[in-house]
A and B are shown apart, each in its own frame.
Chain A
Amino acid sequence: MTLSILAVDDSRTMRDMIRLALTSEGFEVFLAEDGVDGLKMLDDLTPDVIITDINMPNLDGFGFIDGVRKDLNDRTTPILVLTTESAAELKQRARNSGASGWIVKPFEQTKLVAAIRRVAA
């Protein structure tokens, strides 16, 4: 089964990179530009894994995760936080929001894929 991934990042560069890294792995990739966009896409999309940036306009990563877990009441879709912040504090905040894991930017393709494999079939 092809895994479908929703990646939320305000940087076009990052979105392109994620798409390149994941489509070459055979994943189906959907992209959103910020938290608001991401939540909107989830209206008619049920991805196997969500990847989200933290620093974003309109609705940041924490707000987005919150929206998924609480507003959409989705507690099972794994959410990986993709961020340049390796600071422990941020990971803790992401975890508190309900993030499943994290990937530190700049990422290596293999690490990204391995992280996804660890949270989804």
Chain B
Amino acid sequence: MDPMEEIRQTFFMECEELLEAMEAGLLAMSDGDDDKETVNAVFRAVHSIKGGAGAFGLEALVRFAHTFETTMDEVRSDRLTPSEEVMTVLLRSGDALSDLFIASRDGTEIEDGANAELLGELEALIGGSDASDQAEEDEPDDFVPMTISFDLDDDDDDDGDEVEEDSDDAYYITFKPHATLYQRGNEAVHLLRALSELGECEITCITSDLPELSELDVESAHLVWQAKLKSGVNERTVREVFEFVEEDCDLTISTSAPIKTKKEEEPDYDTEDVVCEEAVSPETETETETETETDPVAEAQAEPAVNAEDSVADAPCTDEKPETKPVESAATAPAAPAAPAATKKAKETGSKATVRVDLDRVDRLINLVGELVINQAMLSEGIVDSEMIQDSAVATGLEEFKQLTREIQESVMAIRAQPVKSLFQRMSRIVREASAATEKSVTLVTDGEATEVDKTVVERLADPLTHMIRNAVDHGLESTEDRAKTDKDPRGTVRLTAAHRSGRVIIEVADDGAGINRERVKQIAIDKGLIPEDLDLTNSEIDNLLFMPGFSTAKEVSDLSGRGVGMDVVKRSIQALGGKISISSNPGQGSVFSISLPLTLAVLDGMVVNVAEQTVVLPLTAIVETLKPGESDIHDVCGDAATILIRGTFVPVIDVGNRLGYREPLSSLEDSVILLVETEDGAKAALAVDAILDQRQVVIKGLENNYGHVPGIAAATILGDGRIALILDPDAIVDSMSKLNLSIDNQIQKAG
């Protein structure tokens, strides 16, 4: 890739992180965090975005970031108090900056005048603070983004400066460094070399001021350099050589024009323009001042006035306060420059060592580890087949190998794990927008942001979660007036939490609204023909109607939550991640939507079972217990629907072999093994299989990409002997059963 394009990509990646940091900081600020570092972090983020955007010529981004940054600077320097109103504008600006960034990244057209209103509000904040004079120094419109140009193949130092005074005239330069020049790490020799590179140059060193060796103070400066430069460059270029040291030396640059009339070899220095009275010897150290436009007083103070042609960006500090610096005597070594009180508290904190790795490499590694797991399984199998003694060195070694493989796998998976923090942060914006659109005041409370999930899960969860949050604000919470009528806080709360629970990640979206109006939900489902009118449903079943395709409780499709997708789409996207979603609701107290997700999408702990001569795998997390049923435990309810009595409860039995179409229904469950599974919504089912073969970690190989979706099958895996085994989705199997039952019930009811 073109190196600049690569950096551009880096910039976009970095921008995303900066925007996240910015948002986190702004949220902390609006929660009352008045730590200087928090404000600083936001400022820095905006500042860095502006800097990078400038380099790539993303003007709209630069312009907005600039005004935003200026406002943040006001806050940073305590000129603007981050009141609630100010924070609202800042948060909205953060959102706008994100949008601008996305538009810039994707190359989407940005309307002229987009954000004009917000820019106005920001400017009002800047103007409204006491430091309105700040604008003079930092006029927002002044910031001209300048794109970077790289002459990668060109070693020439020609930076394209127009040569205005193209002439062969010589410049006569007198350069007397002060001691401070050396103390700032500058070196007269380098400057003179840079000067000599501009053209034909004769340099003379005047040592008359050099004291006796015994009196020499090594830290002071005693030498004066005179140079005659014959070059076609303009004076600005000559002056630029000394740009950094203008305040640390006495410098005069004169064109030859007035001098030419005098003797060529010995430039005649005008003795009237004494630069540094104390330090110069009258014969050699005086200098000619021919620059008519400069102020001789300023010159005498070793502060050559700035050439008006200097670009704005390069304007040296002499612009501002030319008179403040006193003349320094070269004979006395000034004390080290006073340094600002820098914050060093952070010195101890140290920076965290991180490496950025291409995701492809990580995935390749994960794949390889997957192969390793399969390979290890094959080895184990081979050893069992070879009938080696159990405690042989090979068998023990293999056991250790197994352990190591597992550890490697876990470590590799951890590389892909990411905290859900970034995801949660995005949701606060969704709440802000949703609360504005519905005119409900809402607080978002988040918890467990540090919970880590696979990167893909974090990424693919954004859309469903956004929808759920919108739903919670739009449908879950009552209007502010309605809330006021009850005892509730008029301000609604949406709670977003993440936690690890038994090998899975649970993400919950809870609102403290009115809860699901089950009467209405059922009525809507009936009206839409989703369920028969006389169907008897439990509360949980009614709640789950929300997930049915074609269901929408909103009276009208609002522009907020009804964006053409319903909860069924949410459910499908969660399922696609190997997750489950469930609802619980309490009238008057609110609803909780709970998503349960696997930690990783790459491996799972599975139970390998045999069903009708086929090997299939069941996720271990779904299995509650396994048992060998006694004949008395099995009860036929009606026809082929067998149930089993486990700890006093009747649980429906599913013959997996039959359900998957491997064989006719078993006549007897006598030789079967029962796996009691529990689904996400708490339903239990007994899966009948022929035998349990093994319990091991299997590598998930998706079926969708290579084959297609098969109901009841989650994925496939490769076994130790190289055969492919299907991984069952217990929920889907149980689900299909209850649907079957539902339809049976319907038939019964209809028939009845």
Contact = CB atoms under 8 A, between A and B. Distances in A.
Interface in B321-367: 321, 336-340, 342-344, 346-347, 349-351, 356
A16 B1 CA distance: 14
Contacts of A24: 150, 152
B137 A87 contact: yes
A84 B184 contact: no
A18 to B, nearest CB: 10
A58 B149 contact: no
A58 B350 CA distance: 8
Nearest to B146: A106
A13 B342 contact: no
Contact of B347 (A36, A55, A99): A36
A76 B185 contact: yes
A58 B340 contact: no
Interface in A32-82: 33-34, 36-37, 39-40, 55-60, 62-67, 69-70, 75-79
Contact of A100 (B185, B312, B313): B185
Contact of B150 (A21, A60, A76, A97): A21
Interface residues of B, number: 75
Given A84-B50, A86-B315, A88-B316, A98 B151 contact: no
B187 interface: yes
Nearest to B37: A57
B149 A97 contact: no
Given A16-B7, A21-B150, A84 B193 contact: no
Nearest to A20: B3
Interface residues of A, number: 68
B190 A121 contact: yes
Interface string A17-28: 100110011000
Contact of A86 (B6, B312, B344): B312
A78 B11 CA distance: 28
A17 to B, nearest CB: 6
Given A57-B346, A60-B343, A69-B336, A114 B157 contact: yes
A109 B160 CA distance: 12
Contacts of A91: 316-317
B10 A105 contact: no
A36 B155 CA distance: 34
A17 B6 CA distance: 10
A108 B150 CA distance: 7
Contact of B313 (A64, A77, A86): A86
Most A CB contacts (10 A, CB to CB) among B55, B185, B338, B349 go to B185
A21 B40 CA distance: 29
Nearest to A87: B137
B338 A100 contact: no
B43 interface: yes
Nearest to A75: B183
Contacts of A12: 10, 13-14, 356
A99 B346 contact: no
Contact of A108 (B4, B148, B183): B148
28 contacts: A12-B10, A12-B14, A13-B10, A36-B349, A36-B351, A37-B351, A55-B48, A56-B44, A66-B340, A66-B342, A67-B347, A70-B339, A84-B47, A87-B137, A88-B315, A88-B316, A88-B320, A96-B338, A100-B186, A101-B244, A105-B51, A105-B55, A106-B54, A106-B55, A106-B146, A106-B148, A113-B157, A115-B244
Interface of B: 3-4, 6-7, 10-11, 13-14, 37, 40-41, 43-44, 47-48, 50-52, 54-55, 137-138, 145-152, 155, 157-159, 182-187, 189-191, 193-194, 197, 241, 243-245, 247, 312-321, 336-340, 342-344, 346-347, 349-351, 356
Given A75-B336, A76-B185, 6 more contacts: A24-B152, A39-B347, A67-B342, A79-B185, A87-B137, A89-B317
